[in-house]
Structure 1
Amino acid sequence: MTSRPLPSVAPTGLPRRGRSPQALAVAAFLTATRRRRSLGERVAGVRLPTSAPPAARVRDVAAVTSYPLDGHTVWRLQPLAPPATGGAVPLVVYLHGGAFLNGIDPFHWRFVAGLIARTGAEVLVPEYPLTPPATVEQTLPWSVAAYAEPAASARAQGRRVVLMGDSAGANLALTTAVAARDAGLTVPDEVALLSPWLDVAGLSPGGIALDRHDPMLDRVAGLEAGRMYAGAPGVADPRVSPVHADLAGLRITSWCGDRDQVVADQRELARRAAAAGWDVATREVPGMVHCFMLIDLLPEARATAAEIAAVVSGG
C-alpha cells in the first residue's frame, strides 16, 4: 500500500484511554436494543425507502436545489460561503448508505451540512435506484450517469472532484469510480469511503468473528440485502463487491471503526492494495461502530469528520 499518512485532528474531551463517554453510551444503547428476528423481519425492519428531505442545517450552509435524472432525484447543495482556503470550490458526489434498501437519512444530511461548513464544497446527493426492484445492473449505470457530467464540468473548471459514500454508498462510490475509469470518464481526485461495505458476500477474513462484537449491524439481513442488490451477476461480481475489483489508478482513503464488522472489508482492501501497490490509505478508529462519523455528538466523529474534510480539500 502506498504510504500516505492521513491528516489527523485530535478529538477533544476524550479520556486518556478508550472511548469518549458519549461513544460508550451509544454502544451500550445499541447493544441493549439489538434483538434477534426472522430474516423477513430483519430485512423489513431496516427498509426505509423514502428519503428524508434536506435538514434545516443544510439550508444554513448551502443553497438547495434538485433536478431529475431518469426518474430519480439529484440534490445539489451549493455553499453559501467560499472555501476557507480561498481556492476553487471542490465538488463532492455523496452516495448515501442504507444497505441499498434505504433512502437518505437525517444523519446523512447533518453530516453533509458539516462537510460543507468545513470545506466550502459543492455537494451532489443522488437518490439512486434502490433494491428491490433495482439491482446493480440498474443502480450502477445510473450512479455513473449522475456523476459523469458534473465531474467533467468541475474538472474543466480546475476544481477538485471527490466521490464519497458511507456503508453501501461507499460500495457504490468505489464501483462508480472504477466504472468511470474503465469508460474513459473523469477519474475522481479522491474516493473517500466511510465504514465501507465492500464485500457483499460477507467473506472478508475475520468478518464472522467481528459480528459478535458489532452492536449495530445485522449480518444476516445485510447478506440478504446484498443478494437482492446483486441480482443475476451475483455477490462475487466486482461491480457488487468491489473488494475484488482492480483499483489501479484510483486514490482511495477509507475510515472505519473497529467495532464495525465491515472493518474486515477495509482490512481486506488494505491487504490487496499493499500487494498490488495501489494508492489506498485507511484509518481504524478504536471502539467505534458502523458509520460513527455521522453521529456528530461523538468527539471521535467530529475528529474523523475533520480528517475527511482535510482530504476533500486536498490536504
Structure 2
Amino acid sequence: MALDPVVEQLIDTLNEQGLRSFEQMSVAEVREVIESFSELQAPKADLARVVDTVYPGPDGDQAVRLYIPESDAPLPVVVYIHGGGWVAGSLDVTEQPCRALAADARVIVAAVSYRLAPEHKFPAAPEDAFAALNWVVDNVADFGGDATRVAIMGDSAGGNLAAVTALRARDTGSPALCAQVLVYPVIDGTARFPSWEENAEGYLITAAAIGWFWEQYLATLEDAENPYASPAKAKSLAGLPPTLMLVNEYEVTRDECLNYGRMLTEQGVPVQVELYSGLVHGVYWMTGAVPRSAELHSAVVEFLGKQFAR
C-alpha cells in the first residue's frame, strides 16, 4: 500500500523544516527532537489520579508515574516502557498515550523510566526495567491495582525492553505476566531482513539511525547476541505470555518484528500480529497528527481487555 497521505505530508513538512536523520545529530539533539513528539499528540485524557513516585533501581531511584482511573475495584495493571532508542524518551513525552490507555482500557498504567545510553550502556536499561516491574507488582495494590493481573508493554526500544523483561520474568519464575504488548519493537541487534533495505530511508527512522541507536546502547558487539539485548536470540521463547505485536509497513525493523512473532507462535505462545499498511515508526506517539494512530491504540485496548478477563 502507498504511504498514508497524512504521514506523507507530515514527513514532507519535517523535511522542509530541516529535520536531519538521528545518526547525524548529537545525543542532546536526539533527546530534544524525541521530546518534541508531544507536540504531535491529542489532548490529554482526565483521570482520577496521577502519582509520581520512584522505584529502587540497581543504581539508585528511578521515576515511575502511575495513571489511575476511577474505580471501586482493584484494576489490572500495565507496566509501560517508553521508546527513544535507549538514548532518549521520557515519562513526559509518553504521558498522553499513557493517559489514553488508562482511561480507555480501565487499567492502571505504570510508566517507568530507566537509565539511558550512551551514559549507561547495556545492561543498565533492562536491569532497571526488571526492577521496575518487580516494584510495581509489589506495590501497586497500594494504588488500587491488582497485582495478579499485570501486563508489560513498550514501543520501539521500549518494546525491546518489554520483551526482554518478559523473558527475565519467565527465566526467574516471577512475576507472572498476563500479557506482553510490543509496539513496533526493535528486537534483534544482528538482524538484516529485507525491510532494512526496502525502508532504509524516507520514513522518519532510517536504517542508519537504527544502527546508530544500537551503537549507543551496546557496550560490545558481542552484546547483540545476548537475549537480554536481542530477545530473538533466546534459546527458547516457550512460556512467554500471550503477545500482541503491532508492526507498521514502512518500518526498517518490520521484518524482524514479524519474524519474532513467528518464532513465538512456533514455540507455543499465543500471538496476535497486526500489520498496519501505509504507516511508519513512531505513529503510536502521533495521536494528534496521524488519525490512524487510533487503530494501534484500539488494538491494545481490545487485546488487554481480553487478556485481563481470562
* Fold agreement, TM-score > 0.5: yes
Residue in 2 aligned with 1:305? 297
Aligned to 1:28, which of 12, 25, 32?
A: 12
For residues 168-193 of structure 1, what are the alpha-carbon distances to aligned partners after superposition, in whole Å with 9 as ceiling and x for unaligned? 00000010110111111113111001
Quote the Cα distance in structure 1 between the aligned partners of 2:126 and 2:210: 19
Letter in 1 for 2:268: G
How far is the alpha carbon of 1:39 from its aligned partner? 4.8
* Paired residue secondary structure (1:161): strand
Give the conservation status (yes or no) of the 8 Å contact 2:189–2:230.
yes
For residues 8-45 of structure 1, what are the alpha-carbon distances to aligned partners after superposition, in whole Å with 9 as ceiling and x for unaligned? xxxxxxxxx96765334224335656766795636554
Give the conservation status (yes or no) of the 8 Å contact 1:31–1:215.
no
* Paired residue secondary structure (2:151): strand
Aligned to 1:278, which of 258, 269, 275?
A: 269
Aligned to 1:109, which of 68, 81, 95?
A: 95
Aligned to 1:66, which of 50, 53, 71?
A: 53
Higher strand share: 2
Quote the Cα distance in structure 1 between the aligned partners of 2:139 and 2:163: 20
List runs of 5+ in structure 1 lacking aligned partners.
1-16
* Number of positions where the alignment pairs a residue of Structure 1 with one of Structure 2: 294
Quote the Cα distance in structure 1 between the aligned partners of 2:293 and 2:153: 16
Aligned to 1:47, which of 23, 31, 41?
A: 31
User: For residues 67-216 of structure 1, what are the structure 2 equivalents within 5 Å?
Assistant: 67-70=54-57, 71-82=60-71, 88-104=74-90, 106-151=92-137, 157=146, 159-201=148-190, 203-212=191-200, 214-216=202-204
Give the conservation status (yes or no) of the 8 Å contact 2:47–2:67.
no
Could you tell which deviates more after superposition, 181-190 or 133-142? 133-142
In 2 relative to 1, CA 292–37 (structure 1 residues): closer, same or farther, beyond 3 Å? closer
In 2 relative to 1, CA 129–120 (structure 1 residues): closer, same or farther, beyond 3 Å? same
* Paired residue secondary structure (2:185): coil
Quote the Cα distance in structure 2 between the aligned partners of 1:60 and 1:154: 17
How far is the alpha carbon of 1:122 from its aligned partner? 1.0
Quote the Cα distance in structure 2 between the aligned partners of 1:181 and 1:193: 16
In 2 relative to 1, CA 34–255 (structure 1 residues): closer, same or farther, beyond 3 Å? farther
How far is the alpha carbon of 1:238 from its aligned partner? 1.3
User: For residues 211-230 of structure 1, what are the structure 2 equivalents within 5 Å?
Assistant: 211-212=199-200, 214-230=202-218
* Paired residue secondary structure (1:162): strand
Letter in 1 for 2:205: L
Letter in 2 for 1:253: L
How far is the alpha carbon of 1:138 from its aligned partner? 2.0
Give the conservation status (yes or no) of the 8 Å contact 2:237–2:263.
no
Quote the Cα distance in structure 2 between the aligned partners of 1:179 and 1:228: 23
Quote the Cα distance in structure 1 between the aligned partners of 2:22 and 2:132: 36
Letter in 2 for 1:190: A
How far is the alpha carbon of 1:218 from its aligned partner? 2.8
Quote the Cα distance in structure 1 between the aligned partners of 2:272 and 2:173: 24
Give the conservation status (yes or no) of the 8 Å contact 2:21–2:204.
no
How far is the alpha carbon of 1:61 from its aligned partner? 5.0
Letter in 2 for 1:129: R
Letter in 2 for 1:229: Y
Quote the Cα distance in structure 2 between the aligned partners of 1:62 and 1:106: 16
Residue in 1 aligned with 2:44? 57
Give the conservation status (yes or no) of the 8 Å contact 1:49–1:103.
no
- Tell me the C-alpha RMSD between the 2 structures: 3.2
How far is the alpha carbon of 1:212 from its aligned partner? 3.6
Q: Percent identity?
A: 22
How far is the alpha carbon of 1:244 from its aligned partner? 2.1
In 2 relative to 1, CA 145–133 (structure 1 residues): closer, same or farther, beyond 3 Å? same
Letter in 2 for 1:73: Q
Give the conservation status (yes or no) of the 8 Å contact 1:258–1:286.
yes
Quote the Cα distance in structure 1 between the aligned partners of 2:303 and 2:248: 18
